[in-house]
Chains A and B, each alone.
Chain A
Amino acid sequence: MSEVVALLEARDVALFGSKAVGLGQALRDGLPVPPGVALAGPIVEAVAGRDEDAIRAVDESVRPLGGPLAVRSSAVDEDGADASFAGQHLTLLNVPGADDLPSALNEIWWSANSDSAITYRQRLGLFTRPSVGVVVQVLVAPECAGVMFTQNPVTGEDERVIEASWGLGEAVVAGRVIPDHFRVARDGEVLERVAGHKSITCRSLPEGGTVEEDVAPELVERLCLDDEMLRGLGGLAERCEQIYGPARDIEWAMAGGTLYLLQCRAVTRAGA
C-alpha cells in the first residue's frame, strides 16, 4: 500500500485518517471536492524528519497540483466517536507550493506532538503515539464560504442551517465574524435569512499564509448568498445525506461560480 495516493484513492482510515478518506469517498461519489493528494501518517513523519526519499516521493505527487495549497491534518483517530482533534492538529492554508511542503508537514507533525495536543490526548486517556495523515489540496480562492448543517444542530429540526461570510471559511470556523445566517427547508424554501456583521475577510497572501482584511463598508451587512447559491447548497446537502446519512456538518466554498465541498462529517450536537 502506497503512503502517497491521489485523494480519490484514499480508502484506509488507519493509514490516511478520517478526513482524507471522507474526502476521497466524496470524490468517488462525484461530489465537488478540490483535487488533492493524501499522505499517510508514516510518510508525514518521515518528511517531518527531513528523510530525503520521503520528501522526493511526496514532491513527485504534489508538484503537479501546482499551488497555492491547503495542507490539512487528518489524524488517524481524528473526528472519531469519542474524540475530536479539531483545533489541536494544524491546518495550513495557502502554502505556496511543493517546495514549501516539507516545512508545512514538519509543523503539522509537531502540532500532533505539542504539549497542548499531548495534554488533550492524556485527558481522553489516549496516551499513544499520535499518527497524523495529511490532505494536500489545491486551495480555492472563494468569494464566500462557510458551514452548513443538513439538520438544525440546535433544535434537531429537519432544515438546513447555513452560515456564510466573505473570503475563506476560516473567518466563520474561527468565529472571527458574525456570519450571515440562513435556514432553508428541505424543499428549498428559505425560512430565514439574517445578515451578519462581516467586518473582516480572510484571504490568501501571494507569498503564502493568510491575512485578515477589513471588508468594504457596503458589504459588511450585505447577504453573501443569493437564492441560486442557496439552491446549490441545498443540492449539496441532499447529495451528502444520500451518500453519508442524515445530520451532516459541511464546510463549503463558492469560487468563480463553482460550489466546492471542503469537508463533510457527522454533526456533533450541542451538549452531546
Chain B
Amino acid sequence: MATISNNDIAQAIYLSSKDKSPHELSLVLKDVVNFLHRKRLLNKSKDILLKLNKIINQEKGVLMVKVSSAQKLHGHEKEEIEHLLKKRYHAHEILLEEHIDEKLFGGIRIEVEDEVIDLSLRNKINKLQEHLTRKV
C-alpha cells in the first residue's frame, strides 16, 4: 500500500471542507481532528496545516511572496512589484512579506515558493567575482 503523504491529507481536508456552511464545517473539522488523533498524526499537524495553506492559496490564486531589500520599499515600488508578479505568475492576489536585509547592499530579492529572482547588488558582485576568478 502506498503511504499517504501530508500533502494527500491536506488535500483531503480541503476537499471535504470546501463550500460548507459554518455548522457543517465545524462538524467536518471535528472529524478531521478525530481522524488525526486516531491515526496518530497529530504530531504532523503543523506540516499538514502548512500544506493546507498552500493548497488554499493555490485554489484562490493567492501568491505568497517574500521580498528582501536593503532599504524599506516605498508604496509605489511595492505596487509595481505586485503588478509585475501578478502578470508573471497569473495570480489574483499577492501577499507581500517584506524583509530588510542590509547584506544585500542594494536592489531587491524576490522569492516565490522555490523560485528566486535576485536583483540585489550582492548577487551581482558575486557573479562578477565568479566571472573574474573563473578558470580559463
Do A and B pair up? The answer is no
